[in-house]
Amino acid sequence: MANALYGKIQTFYDEASGLWEQIWGEHMHHGYYGPDGRHRKNRRQAQIDLIDECLAWAGVTEATEILDCGCGIGGSALELASRFGARVTGITLSPVQAERATERARAANLAGDIPPWARFQVADALNTPFADQSFDLVWSMESGEHMPDKVAFLQECYRVLKPGGRLLMATWCHRPTDSLAGPLTWLEQQQLEWIYRVYGLPYVIALPDYEAIAHNCGFTNLRAADWSLAVAPFWDEVIASAFSPEALVGLVKAGPGTLQGALALAPMRQGLQSGLIRYGLLTAVR
């Protein structure tokens, strides 16, 4: 089952990453539009601002050895390497992404042997090839939703972190089910299932569930935050860009998986607006 899921994720990003870079640039994640989501700005600047805001929120001011889980085409990794003068290792399931990220590292003079550098490889985030206690920061920008075993993922993050090292992740979640709204309704479950099929997601969980898992893994100093409002305008921007002539031609050429992903833009926006889909942040220390 995991192999089939990984194959679907790889195919999706192999096909879609080139078009995303062409239309949106190197950052394959949400943008930050202020705490209430009302600060309108250039869409690419909003994506850079999300990195800034996440680091500030978690109190990350330095790092030497960084693991970027779900690195895409290297947007965050190159930013972190330059900012901290760090050695950054990015992992992805997509060979196309790893190759493109490596090309971009060379172009940015970040592919050498002297820090700062960024290197990329194909690897499974649930079973990485790295030694225990290798990194002082594990960065996961919108990759947790792809993990078929959330417990194993956080256990692996804990394993590769040095004592005192920090996990910082941003991930898609669904609404908490321990509130007055109660368990997910049948309609909510159907909406999520459709999004899962399109984007190659096994399932998502609520942010409090991530906190509980992290605590059970041994993490300390846990903090969590719901930034759904702050990133909500992102989907309006993506939908608007998808109807440009350049994007429409690219969607046709990219393949059926990318086209299906475009068709899921409206349900994703609706899910955020209704509160079903949440954008969660979690940081913790080993």
Structural domain spans, the chain: 2-285
Q: What is the DSSP letter of 131?
A: P
Q: How do strand 135-141 and strand 117-122 relate by DSSP bridges?
A: unpaired
Q: What is the pTM of this model?
A: 0.93
pLDDT of res. 200: 82
Q: What is the pLDDT of residue 237?
A: 81
Low-confidence residues of the chain, pLDDT below 70?
1-2, 242-264
Give long-range contacts, CB 8 A cutoff, 24+ apart: 106-114. Answer: 108/78, 108/82, 110/78, 110/81, 110/82
Burial class (CB in 10 A: 0-12, 13-18, 19+), 210: buried
* H or E element at residue 280: strand 277-285
Q: What sign has the CA pseudo-torsion 98, 3, 149, 274?
A: positive
CA gap 98, 48 in Å, rounded:
21
Q: pLDDT tens across 104-158, in order?
A: 999 999 999 999 999 999 999 999 999 999 999 999 999 999 999 999 999 999 9
Question: Is 3.40.50.150 the CATH number for 2-285?
Answer: yes
pLDDT of residue 12: 81
Neighbours of 69 (CB within 10 A): 26
DSSP-assigned beta bridge partners for residue 101: none
Q: How far is CA 75 from CA 5, 108, 183, 271, in A?
A: 24, 11, 36, 26
Single out the residue of 254, 261, 238, 264 nearest to residue 23, CA to CA. 238
pLDDT of residue 180: 85
Q: Which pLDDT does position 197 carry in this prediction?
A: 85
Query: Which residue type is seen at 150?
Result: K
Q: CA 31, 285, 152: angle at the middle one, nearest 5?
A: 80
- Which pair of tokens denotes residue 183? 């368990």
